[in-house]
Amino acid sequence: MSKTSILAFGAHPDDVELNAGGLMALTSARGERTVICHLTRGEMGTRGTPETREQEARAAAKTLGVSELEFLGQPDGWIEESEAAKRRLVTVLRRHRPSLVLAPYWSDLHPDHATTGALVRKAAFLSGLARIDDGLAPWRPARVLYYMSHDPIPADLVVDISSVFETKRAAALCYRSQFHDPDSTEPETFISRSDFWDFWEGRASWWGHFVGVRYGEGYFADGPIPTRNPVEIFQGFGKYKNADPEEGE
């Protein structure tokens, strides 16, 4: 199997697309291998069925250009930090051998998001231990980056997703059962309200604002960010402005 650049974990189908879809689209567009792993099928969701959400997840992954999609079959609403769940994640990590892993930040309003973040954090370490024998070679990703779900996170990395923002939106909109539909007779939820998209786009503008781009995605890097060239990292980005980066300060 070719090398995987990014393996993104989400608790529910739509978590990765809504919160990290920009980075997935950017990476896929460069021709690199990307994988999404949904821990549950979203079967506790107020709207839609597991079957419709699985179809929607496949359409969303295709829109982002993701190479492979997996469902881990954990129970929606009741994801637990069990040994069995960690072993499942270790096997997924070893199978794909990703450079980077994405996961929800480990403190969040929704317990499944928080638990998924904590599970992935531990599994990414355990995956490197040779004594955990599942028949696959040990593998430890270079880093796990954590994305924001409901609650704000202490992001220390902002990815400029301006060029793929509409792709990200199109991928999220594949989850038609979850979002605003004036003809739907299902109960209303926060994300099915018509003003949800204002909040969602506002968040991308808000992250972008800190580095001087139209749209951004914030990540918590969980430790110092390594580089041999800090000039290159910051080149073309302004702070607290939406100016043309070429024009400088």
Beta strands in the chain (DSSP E): 4-10, 33-38, 68-71, 98-104, 143-147, 157-160, 216-220
The CB density around residue 141, as the number of other CB atoms within 10 Å, is 22
**Do the bridges between strand 216-220 and strand 157-160 make them parallel or antiparallel, or are there none, so unpaired?**
antiparallel
- Residue among 4, 8, 65, 44 at smallest CA distance from 217: 8
The footprint of Zn ion (CB under 5 A) covers 11-12, 15
Least gap, CB of 163 to Zn ion (angstroms): 26
Q: Tokens 């549950």 appear where?
A: 40
Q: What's the CA gap between 51 and 200, in Å, rounded?
A: 25
Q: 166: which 2 tokens?
A: 């509409």
Q: What's the CA gap between 19 and 169, in Å, rounded?
A: 10
Least gap, CB of 112 to Zn ion (angstroms): 6
Residue 39 or residue 155: which is nearer to Zn ion going by CB?
Answer: 39
Least gap, CB of 154 to Zn ion (angstroms): 20
Q: What's the CA gap between 178 and 75, in Å, rounded?
A: 19
Q: What's the CA gap between 178 and 18, in Å, rounded?
A: 12
Least gap, CB of 115 to Zn ion (angstroms): 11
Least gap, CB of 135 to Zn ion (angstroms): 31
Least gap, CB of 235 to Zn ion (angstroms): 35
Cβ burial of 210 (10 Å; 0-12, 13-18, 19+) is middle
The CB density around residue 221, as the number of other CB atoms within 10 Å, is 15
Q: What's the CA gap between 153 and 147, in Å, rounded?
A: 8
Residue 11 or residue 174: which is nearer to Zn ion going by CB?
Answer: 11
Least gap, CB of 45 to Zn ion (angstroms): 9
